Each structure stands twice: as C-alpha cells, then as structure tokens.
Structure 1
Amino acid sequence: MSVTKIIKCSNCGVFNTNREYCKNCNALISDTKKRQIKEAQVKQDQIDVVLHEKENPNLAERLKKHPNLFYRIIGWILYSAIMIVSLIGAGLAWFIAMVAAG
C-alpha cells in the first residue's frame, strides 16, 4: 500500500505530492529529510566539540607534556593544586548537603 503525502510548501504555497523538495521553488518540505539533516548536524557538532577539546588541552595538560623537565614539574604541581581544590569543593558540597538533610 502506497501512502500519498500532499505537502504544502511553506515558501511558495504550492501543494506537492510525494516529494521531498518543492517542484516550484525547490525548497525542502519533507519532515523526515529535515530530521535526518538535523541529526547529522547535531552529530557533526558533537564531533567538532570533542576534536576541539582534544586538540586544545588546558594549560596544566599542556605543561605536563612539555619537553622541558622544569615545565613538566610546574604542570604536575598545577594539576595537583586543581585536583586538591576540586576535592575540597566536593567535600564541602557533600558536607553542606548532609547538614541540610538533617
């Protein structure tokens, strides 16, 4: 069984039968095609974000991999300081949540 889809073009107002693009103005009118394009764009955006994070590490990560030993030591100290501050913040948040819970 074939389903006939009649879609009105939002650009020019022409009714199209079983088409993804308008026969008059060639605008995209298919919802399934629009969803596929949107999904592909979202996936590509996520890939771009991951690649950007991988190619541009933060200062501590760059210093930890530096060829100079002095800079590597500074990188590890900076990384350790960030971790300690994060642990203190997490512990403080946990303590406040426990006090608030009673």
Structure 2
Amino acid sequence: MAVKRIIKCPNCGVFNTNNDYCSNCNTLISHQKKREKKELAVKKAEIDAAIHKLENPNLAERLKKHPFILYKIIGWILYSAIMVVSAIGAGLAWFIAMVAAG
C-alpha cells in the first residue's frame, strides 16, 4: 500500500500528490530529493577542495619542485623555516598547557 503524500508548493501554492516536482511550476518540493541534492553538493564541494589543494600546493612546495636549483634551495630554506617556527609554536603551546595544568 503506497503512502499518499500531499505537499504544498512553496513557490506557487499548488497542492501536489506523490510528486517530487510541482506540477504547476516545476519547483522541487520533495524533502528527500532536497536532502539528496544538498548531500551531493556538499560532497562535490569537498572533492573540489581536495582537488584544488592537490593541484595548487603552497609556495614552499612549488619552489622545492622547481627545475632551477636556486629556487629549489630557496624552497627548502622556506620549508625548513616554516617547520622550525611550527615546532617552536607547538613547544610553546605544550609548555603553556603544562604550566596551566599545574
């Protein structure tokens, strides 16, 4: 036995029975389809962000792979500086947490 769904279109106000789209204005009215569409949009945005991150590395990574040796050296120096600053920051954060913990 099929369940009869009556949904009012938010766009034109026509009542529709067992439809995913409005029979009058063709607006999406199914809540399930709206959720599926939103989930697909979120997944696509996450995939696009991951692809963008892979295709557009940061400056240090680009310089480390550059064919010109001087740029490679600058890239490695920049990368090393970033790592040293990150390690100092992590150590400082740990020290502050230990002092705060008592």
Fold agreement, TM-score > 0.5: yes
Q: How many angstroms apart in 2 are the aligned matches of 1:92 and 1:16?
A: 62
Q: How many angstroms apart in 2 are the aligned matches of 1:73 and 1:25?
A: 62
Q: How many angstroms apart in 2 are the aligned matches of 1:71 and 1:24?
A: 63
Coordinate RMSD, CA, aligned: 0.8
> How far is the alpha carbon of 1:12 from its aligned partner?
1.0
Aligned to 2:73: 73
Q: C-alpha deviations, 1:41-92, integer Å up to 9, x for none?
A: 1111111111111111111000100111121111111101100000000110
Equivalenced residue count is 102
Q: C-alpha deviations, 1:16-57, integer Å up to 9, x for none?
A: 100000011111000010011101111111111111111111
Q: Does 1:94 align with 2:85?
A: no
Percent identity reads 73
Aligned to 1:27: 27
Aligned to 2:82: 82
SS in 1 for 2:71: helix
SS in 1 for 2:16: strand
Q: How many angstroms apart in 2 are the aligned matches of 1:32 and 1:41?
A: 14
Q: How many angstroms apart in 2 are the aligned matches of 1:59 and 1:12?
A: 52
Q: How many angstroms apart in 1 are the aligned matches of 2:9 and 2:68?
A: 63
Q: How many angstroms apart in 2 are the aligned matches of 1:12 and 1:77?
A: 63
Q: Provide the TM-score with structure 1 as the length reference.
A: 0.96
Q: How many angstroms apart in 1 are the aligned matches of 2:75 and 2:25?
A: 58
Q: Provide the TM-score with structure 2 as the length reference.
A: 0.96
SS in 2 for 1:16: strand
